[in-house]
Structure 1
Amino acid sequence: MGFRLVLLLVFLYGGKCEVKQDLGGEWSLKDETEEYKDLSATVPGGIYTDLMNPSNKILGNIYAGFNDIEYKWVARYNWTYSTTFQVQEDLTKRDVINLVLEGVDTFATIFINDVKVGTTENMFVRYIFEITNTLKAGVNTITLKFDSPITVSEELAKKQAEDYAVPPDCVPDSYKGECHVNFIRKIPASFSWDWGPAFPSVGIWKDIYLEAFYVTTIRYVVAEVIDSGDNWLLSIDTYFAPKTTGITGKLDVSLQTKREPIQTSSEVILGEPNEHGEIFVTTNVTVPKSSVDLWWPNGYGKQPLYTLNVTFTNDKESSTSQKKIGFRKIEIMQDELDSGLAFYFKVNNVPIYAMGVNVIPLDILPEESYKRETVDRLLAAVAEYTEMNMLRVWGGGVYESDYFYEMADKYGLMIWQDFVFASAMYPANAEFLSNVQREVNHQVKRIQSHASLAVWGGNNENEGNLASNHFNTADNFDVYKADYIKLYIDTVRDEMRRATKNANFVNSSPTNGIQTDKEGYVASDPGSNFYGDKHYYNNKKDSLDESIFPTPRFSSEYGYQSLPSVTSWLTVANSSVLNLNSDFMKHRQHHPDGNDPLKNLIEFQMELPSEDNEYYDEAVIYYTQIIQAMSVKTETEHYRRFMGRFDDQGQGNTMGALFWQLNDVWVAPSWASIDYTGRWKMLHNFVPNFFSHELVTGHYNKDSKKLEIYHMLNKPNVDGEKWINLTVYSWESFTPLNVTQLIGEFEPLVARLVASYDVDQFLSDSGCGAADVAKYNCFVHIVGGKDGTVLTPSNYFFPSKFKEAKLKNSNVEIISVDMIDAKGLRFHVWVKADAPSLFVWLDPHDIKGHFLENGFIQHSLVTTVTFIADSPTTSEDLKQALTVTHLRDPKYFISRK
């Protein structure tokens, strides 16, 4: 395609420099047989993105219809990427020239000027190949020949089976995916999952460039903050890429503080590599605590970051690395209790109630997941609009981009970072373990310095899978347990600890923490309610019945499915296929239980319109979002009610709730709170309330048949007496029937039972009718505050199932839309109702944005909510686009039964 002259990126220091030349941009693409050839490609990128490119016209929208099946052939081909580039003579005069590939997916053989320079086998490793004697001044060629990941994984599984099988043979049939991803180091979810399609991409998914230097360059800087009394000890490991030993130079370290910079300089000699082939220098810097401010999780304080510069210079050149670091201490506390052990995070000596969410890959195509706009959209939805303070980056996904962790630092989002192993047994042969060791070494050094990095997790659910015989490993348990320990303890954990002095680590999730260690790294009951963390899912029981939920020390996964909005569905299908029983909707549902649980969970609590209603499909979609939002809310409040308290079995002291999941990778039924198009589901609108730092709830105790009022406070805020108001409303009127005020002083980190009432008698006394029917006629609004200030979000107690309550088929309408800024981005929307209405849902359809409150309970004549548009619009256009619905919308129910 002709050569390209690529810009040299030159880093100057005192007249000396190291040189980097970007090789990204337009490349050529073909398959091995040349059935497809002379195609254009973009690097960084991937095969699906390139084949969708209109200039190639090979694939349509991979996310539409049944295209995940139609395009399975792509991953079975062997693809070749190539380009030409020109090198200036100045670059070739350096003593060392390397080809650096920050991310290759996954199996590639690399040629420079038709000379093989290396191979790759792990998409999570940075590959560096010396090409000093292969490159030339002038025009050069580079070619990457990719092997099909499907073929490679099959071959590795067959080879392993000659000794013994490593299960599972494949993902469940409902996933419609590919097999044996556990044998290769690639995003496991790219072979499909219960929430996503199989698109096993290949390509150069991160930056590719040449680097040239005379003697050395800085490879990594790992900066760790260690509490040391009145000071912080900043321990800095600087890793080098030397050409020869005995290199001397000066290492300068400069830390910006809120006062004068702290600087240190030392003469260093780069000696022989250690047994792991590394050459590094450790620099310890004492930082007075008075010179920096503490970094805090979101909602607990600010997130100041300080610039650290590390520079190596000698008479030939210089190399510099810069990082932003925060000063904090994060511990996992596992104190002894009367029954078992605690499990919670403490930051800067303050116990933290972890409130957060699990993150899957930000896109199923890895190059797309690294886009800054995707990171910005999702992390802003977490940190700017909620008080969440933790993200669990799940083990079936991907190590996120540098920018992702930078934004987590900025927002105060603690990261629970799983190593990328999930829901499978894995091989433990020498080749696989060596591959994993390189991966762990690179990833830990890459991101450990981030203030947000709170804990590393060895894997997702594999301790539990082994202990429970999930993959039928019991007959050969000792072998699989030995492999488990070789991989996650001897390799992952030990390599992590070698690369960092100060990182927290848990072997798995769920796990019993240090109790698992005592039991030989595979506990008899991982995820016990008395130790560590727990995952819990149940789509067969009434999800608004709190008695079905466990009471663990820490809940790190739980959730319920829902369907994306109609507008989102219409980006990948037409309206005629949006019935749960259509082939398309069955295809998009990857959970082995299918779509039936969605409808069943609704029918526990709500009455759907008849199937011959023209709005039936729309109603089902909307009702799934109601039941998801209410279910996650109910379960979250259950966990929060056990903060600092125990039940009569010693269960409780629950100090974390991380629901599943934040995001989607395509338009499909899933557990996500934000769908693939970026639209917030009702669940995400509920998050700011159930994750408020201060909360009051009404809990129905099935045993005593009492309404119990609890107050939860995650941290001290306002001392002294506070009030809680219980306001009883009839479904017929906006006029309160009764207001009960509770007065008290409440302590942080202890969920306190404030009052309890016999439900039927309390409602009857409030004017809701006879005791045997009162619960059908009324509901209770609950809010707390101090003096005249409301401090908690509105909460509600619904004493009966919604389908049994005497709800009205009320009329709800939008009466006004007013722009409240000059940019056309923020609007007030005024909503009027003629009776109390449940889950009032405003949909702007094709106008992208989100409401600060949606799916709300309207218990006043007019409610005002704020809409934030993604791009400028007008009041007129927004009002025209908006529609409104609610649980008993007359269009769903022509007449009340």
Structure 2
Amino acid sequence: MSVATTVTLSGWRWRQHGKVDEKWHQCVHDKPTTEIFTDLIDAKVIPDPFIDENERLVQWVGEADWEYACDFQYEPDSGHSRQDLLFAGLDTVATVYLNDQDKILESTNMFHRHRIDVTGKLRRGLNTLRIVFKSALHYGRELEKKHGSYRAFSGENSRVHVRKAQYHYGWDWGPLLMTCGPCGEISLETYASTVENVFADAQVSEDLQTASMKISFDAILDRDVTADVTVTTPSGHIFRLSTALSLSAKDPRGSVSLEIHQPELWYPIGHGPQIFYLVDVAIVGPDQVPLHYVRKPVGIRRLRLVQQPLIDEPGTSFFIEINNKPVYSSGSNWIPGHSFLTSMTAKDYVSAVDLCVKGNQNMLRVWGGGIYEHDALYEECDRRGILVWQDFAFACAQYPCYPEFAATVKREAVDQVKRLRQYCSIVLYAGNNEDYQIAEMLNLTWDPEDHSGDWTNTDFPARTLYETHLPAVVTEYSPGVPYHPSSPWGGEGTTDRTVGDIHQWNVWHGSQEKYQLWDKLVGRFVSEFGMLGFPAAKSIRRFVTDPAQRYPQSSVLDLHNKADGAERRLALYVLENIRVNSLDLDSWIYATQLIQAECLGFAVRSCRRQWKGPGREYCAGQLVWQINDCWPVSSWAMVDFYGEKKMAYFMTMRDSAPLALGMSRSTPELKKLKSPPPQILAPPHDLAPKKNFIDVWAVNGTLKDFPVQIEVRLYDIATGALREERSMDIQTLLSNRTTELLEDLSVDDKTAVQAIMKDPQGGHVIARASDWPQPLKYVTLSASPDVTLSVLDGKLEIRTKVPVKGVVVSVADDRDVDFGDNGVDVFPDDVYTICAQGLAKDDKVEMRYYGLDF
């Protein structure tokens, strides 16, 4: 016997399956994973579908069948009695042949993982693996004919039958590009004995003083062996749990338990350190020869989803608690980072999580219409302390639950939960995205009082998946993580703002409320909300190659905007709120990004304001839809496909900071309301004078009380004259909650207000907030604001004589400079400094702000 070896297969070649005289084409890369669209692009068989209107030209690819092959070497080892091929994922309808003699696997689920015993089937020397991928479109349509039609929103109805990433069928932000291929790594493992499914399940006591860790694992053995299990603490202490744990080839499962006193705990970012125990499992043969070894980093934390009655408000809370500390979740939704998943690298996932950290986000929701993400994403979330809300892979549809479908889903859930349960960052599983909302829209049979557990004979059969099968898998394989049947879910239907989570789309979708109503739309946890904005101009120049197509209403830009009614709704929100003197592309980009930023910023502030301390967790989190794009597009993303940050990214970054200020302007009548009125902003013919009042509050998201100095200044917008200034006594902001600072400060519609939070010790600025009359289109701005920009090495400074809104800076030559802030409001008597990594003092910096072109 000798130690197990693993070789990852690569060097793929491809061709269209079933096409007469079709030759093999070698992939230009030597990566272990690949897919047909990237290979066709590399071979110049098709144009890049991300560019111009090329998406229209490549639809035939998804209608065709394809095949892949690769060669690999195998030399028998007398110490290895077994050989397995491991498949991390095949997209999607795949038949696998070994040496064109043995059909070793048929798979129709992209999310299944496979271990195939090929002992005795390998040749000495060169072997060939060939995979035929049938069109998932045709496969789904055949299943639809057999099992019936179910309604899907986004993509064709047949997608609900196919266990493939649903966004490949097209979404309201993504293209229709039905790719296929060996999307997960395939490896050859040769061994006598091997270990798999190592799981360290740690249960922390309520007082956090002890942790019980049960370490379980499976093994594949050709004889009886012993297992050696050790645990190394973050501080370096080693627990050797067993040197002689006997494993039988007939029952090759092992488990040991450990009591840890004074455990070193993992915390989310901003709450404590991200530290890990190391769990090592090794199996050893009778002659003490090591056979296989697995190491797992394990973060230990006490996790609860707290849903309990609230003080002075109906319903219940909905917040994550880590190590007895309530966590306000400020973050975003994550869609797959690329339409072609094999184009993503580990570095891309690191960069994505870094965006969250720099944006003051502490949670990502991995959305159900994509995939169970690559390990690299979860590893980085563990390392950086970003919490993960993980949807199961169902979205926006009425799904079936016939026996074959239920069986493949249950196996999918087991495969993925067993893979994901090692990540301490995952704090919630949700059964799907918006499928109960779809059930309501379609008036499907859904009786919340029916707890039979089997609804397969109703017109909402997938409820059996969401409320029976999936929670059973989570309970068995990841018992410490809460399960939520859907998102949104809770209370009297999916729009109940007092229980569970909601998706608040009555701004943009739904009733298309004015975004100034966001404080009337808050729920206990808002897991989706958004506003659409154009990508950056430099990004548009990359995917629109014809300069004549670079205008807002061009056919190319319309194709790269998949949102329902996008042109109308963008125009609605822009023209209702701001002046637009030109419809040139740069002006429209600025206008849509300003509205997106204003909307999302007010939403974040409105939600965080309702985190008011123990028993008053009226809102416990908000997750922006969305942080990223999968291709170049106008969408709800805060960072476009090419990594350019929109104004909304910076606005929400400021409003989600550990120490932040918030302001809102309201009339006495509107302030009393709990829900949106029929109308919020008075039309021009309403002659009654408006009385406006400002509220100011502060958020302390840290775990310690914090003394601050607050200044509030009222400026005449047109002249810059300081009308009023209030300097409050030193305020102590209590930890992990919002503190109301000032209520009903009277202002008129010619006044902008700035609030500044300072450190009373050193006097430096900690946070700023500003408030302007609404809508901005009625505001009379200064004809000569006298805004000046000082460019220095690594930073720039902005000064102004009058209040200015939405100052955006950029380097003129499109050179990459990492601006630490942007899209800022600047006031007199306050120099706004922006750090800019890579900026040189001789760089030409361009500046734009609201009203510059008036």
Supply the distance in 2 between the matched residues of 1:853 and 1:242 (Cα, whole angstroms): 57
In the TM superposition, residue 831 of structure 1 has moved relative to its aligned partner by: 4.0
For 2:34, the aligned partner's letter is G
Q: Residue by residue, what CA displacement relative to the aligned partner does 1:788-819 show, whole Å, maximum 9, x if unpaired? A: 44574210011343222221244677755333
Answering whether residue 131 of structure 2 is matched by residue 144 of structure 1, we say: yes
Distance 2:55 2:125 in 1: 43
User: How many aligned residue pairs are there?
Assistant: 807
Counterpart CA distance in 1 for 2:732 and 2:69 is 70
Verify: 1:836 aligned to 2:790, yes or no. Answer: no
Deviation at 1:99, TM superposition (A): 1.2
One-letter identity of the residue aligned with 1:687? T
Letter in 1 for 2:475: R
Deviates more, 1:347-356 or 1:800-809: 800-809
The answer to whether the 8 Å contact 1:561/1:669 transfers is: yes
Structure 2 partner of 1:209: 187
Structure 2 residue 396 is the aligned partner of structure 1 residue 401: no
1:480 & 1:35 partners in 2: Cα distance? 49
| Aligned-residue offset at 1:747 | 2.7
Question: Is 1:865–2:834 an aligned residue pair?
Answer: yes
- For structure 2, which runs of at least 5 residues remain unmatched after alignment? 448-453, 672-691
Checking the alignment, whether the CA contact within 8 Å between 1:233 and 1:286 is kept in structure 2 is: yes
Q: Relative to structure 1, is the Cα distance of residues 605 and 542 closer, same or farther in structure 2, using a 3 angstrom cutoff? A: farther
**C-alpha deviation, 1:146, in angstroms:** 0.8
Asked if 1:495 is matched to 2:473, the reply is yes
Following the alignment from structure 1 to structure 2, what is the Cα–Cα distance between the partners of residues 376 and 399? Answer: 17
> Which amino acid in the other structure matches residue 741 of structure 1?
S
- Contact 2:213-2:260 within 8 A present in 1 as well: yes
1:353 corresponds to = 328
User: How many angstroms does 1:259 deviate by?
Assistant: 4.2
Preserved contact between residue 81 and residue 145 of structure 1 (Cα < 8 Å): yes
Equivalent residue, structure 2, for 1:166 = 150
Give 3-state SS (helix, strand or coil) of 1:793's partner. Answer: strand
Question: Which residue does 1:37 correspond to in 2?
Answer: 23
Distance change >3 Å, CA 51–CA 639, structure 1 → 2 = same
CA distance, structure 2, for counterparts of residue 887 and residue 99 of structure 1: 60
The residue aligned with 2:267 is 296
Distance 1:840 1:300 in 2: 33
| Mapped partners of 2:497, 2:441: distance in 1 | 16
Q: Partners in 2 of 1:801 and 1:120 — Cα distance?
A: 56
Aligned: 1:247 with 2:224: yes
1:729 to 712, 715, 730: 715
Instruction: Give distance in 2, aligned partners of 1:526 and 1:459.
Output: 13
Query: What aligned pairs does 1:540-555 form with structure 2 within 5 A after superposition?
Result: 541=512, 543-546=514-517, 549-555=520-526
- Residue 730 to residue 221, structure 1, CA distance change in 2 (3 Å): same
3-state DSSP of counterpart to 1:671: coil
Structure-2 separation of matches of 1:35 and 1:424: 41
In structure 2, how many angstroms separate the alpha carbons of the residues matched to 1:816 and 1:652? Answer: 43
In the alignment, the residues of structure 2 paired with residue 297 and residue 87 of structure 1 have an alpha-carbon distance, to the nearest angstrom, of: 45
| 2:550 paired residue number | 578
Contact 1:551 1:651 in 2 (8 A): no
1:506 shift after superposition: 0.5
Instruction: Give % identity.
Output: 22
What is the distance in 1 between the residues matched to 2:516 and 2:547?
34
| Alignment-mate amino acid for residue 840 of structure 1 | V
Distance 1:83 1:396, change over 3 A: same
Find the aligned partners of 1:285 and 1:36 in 2 and give their Cα distance.
Answer: 59
Give the counterpart of 1:628 among 575, 596, 608: 596
Query: What are structure 1's unaligned runs of at least 5 residues?
Result: 1-14, 274-278, 516-523, 761-773, 820-826
User: Contact conserved, 2:247 with 2:253, CA < 8 A, in 1?
Assistant: no
Deviation larger for 357-366 or 296-305: 296-305
2:713 is paired with a residue of what secondary structure? strand
Residue 426 of structure 2 corresponds to residue 453 of structure 1: yes
**2:625 and 2:636 in contact (8 A); partners too:** yes
CA gap 1:327/1:548 in 2 versus in 1, 3 angstroms: closer
Which amino acid in 1 is paired with 2:89? G
SS of corresponding position for 1:105: coil
Please give the secondary structure, in 1, of the residue aligned with 2:626.
coil
Contact kept, 8 Å, 2:401 with 2:456, in 1: the verdict is no
1:150 touches 1:178 (CA, 8 Å); kept in 2?
no
Give the structure-1-normalised TM-score: 0.85
* 1:808 pairs with one of 782, 802, 814: 782
1:886 to 828, 849, 852: 849
- Superposed counterparts of 1:583-594, under 5 Å: 583-594=555-566
Matched to 2:554, the amino acid is: S
Q: 1:131 to 1:800 in 2, by over 3 A?
A: closer
SS at match of 2:776: coil
Partner of 1:597: 569
Amino acid in the other structure paired with 1:309: D
Distance change (3 Å), C-alpha of 1:429 and 1:813: same
Q: Is the 8 A contact 1:810 1:833 kept in 2?
A: no
Report whether the alignment pairs 1:341 with 2:316.
Answer: yes
What secondary structure, in the 3-state scheme, does the structure 2 residue paired with 1:808 have? coil
Normalising to structure 2: TM-score of the pair?
0.89
The answer to whether the 8 A contact 1:700-1:706 is kept is yes
Q: Report the CA distance between 1:591 and its aligned residue.
A: 1.7
Give, in angstroms, the shift of residue 366 of structure 1. 1.6
Q: Deviations over 1:341-375 (max 9, x none)?
A: 21111111011111111100011112123x11211
- Kindly provide the amino acid, as one letter, of the partner of residue 80 in structure 1: E
Corresponding residue number in structure 2 for 1:98: 84
1:241 maps to a residue whose letter is I
The equivalent of 1:775 in structure 2 is 749
* 2:221 is the counterpart of 1:235: no
- Residue 439 of structure 1 corresponds to 412
Counterpart for residue 521 of structure 1: none
CA separation of 1:473 and 1:718: change in aligned 2, threshold 3 A:
closer
Would you say 1:222 and 2:222 are equivalent positions? no
Distance 1:318 1:547 in 2: 60
Contact 1:779 1:799 in 2 (8 A): yes
CA–CA distance in 2 between the matches of 1:610 and 1:49? 39
Describe the shift of the 1:753–1:181 C-alpha distance in structure 2 as closer, same or farther (beyond 3 A): same
Q: Which one-letter code corresponds to 1:251 in the other structure?
A: D
CA distance in 1, matches of 2:253, 2:455: 41
* Structure 2 counterpart of 1:111: 97
Cα displacement string for residues 111-145 of structure 1 (whole angstroms, at most 9, x for unaligned residues) = 11112111111111211211112111112221111
Give the 3-state SS of the residue equivalent to 1:759 in structure 2.
strand
RMSD: 2.6
Aligned AA (1:740): R
CA change 1:587–1:232 in 2 (3 A) is: same
744, 747, 761: which is aligned to 1:757? Answer: 744
Alpha-carbon distance between aligned partners in 2 of 1:554 and 1:625, rounded to the nearest angstrom: 25
Report what 1:606 is aligned to: 578
Contact map agreement 2:719 2:782 (CA 8 A) in 1: no
- Counterpart amino acid of 2:772? F
Cα offset for 1:386? 2.9
User: What letter corresponds to residue 216 of structure 2 in structure 1?
Assistant: D
Question: Is contact 1:680-1:850 (8 Å) kept?
Answer: no
Matched, 1:656 2:624: no
Q: Which amino acid aligns with 1:658?
A: L
- Structure 2 residue aligned with 1:415, among 376, 380, 388? 388
For the residues of structure 2 that align with 1:790 and 1:634, how far apart are their CA atoms? Answer: 25
Instruction: Report 1:707-722 matches (<5 A).
Output: 707-719=694-706, 722=708
Is the 1:387–1:688 Cα contact (8 Å) retained in structure 2?
yes
Q: What secondary structure, in the 3-state scheme, does the structure 2 residue paired with 1:282 have?
A: strand
Post-superposition CA distance 1:469-524 (Å, at most 9, x none):
267999x9984466223212222111221112312111101111xx6xxxxxxxx5
Distance verdict in 2 for CA 1:659–1:419, change over 3 Å: same
497-506 vs 334-343, which moves further: 334-343
Q: CA separation in 1, counterparts of 2:20 and 2:67?
A: 10
1:379 maps to 2:348: no
Q: Distance between the aligned counterparts of 2:833 and 2:162, measured in 1? A: 53
* 2:362–2:385 CA contact under 8 A, matched in 1: yes
Q: Is the CA contact 1:329–1:348 (under 8 Å) kept in the aligned structure 2? A: yes
| One-letter amino acid of the counterpart of residue 220, structure 2 | A
The answer to whether the 8 Å contact 1:104/1:204 transfers is yes
- Supply the distance in 2 between the matched residues of 1:336 and 1:685 (Cα, whole angstroms): 35
> What amino acid does structure 2 have at the position aligned with 1:236?
I
Q: 1-side partners of 2:666 and 2:349: how far apart?
A: 41
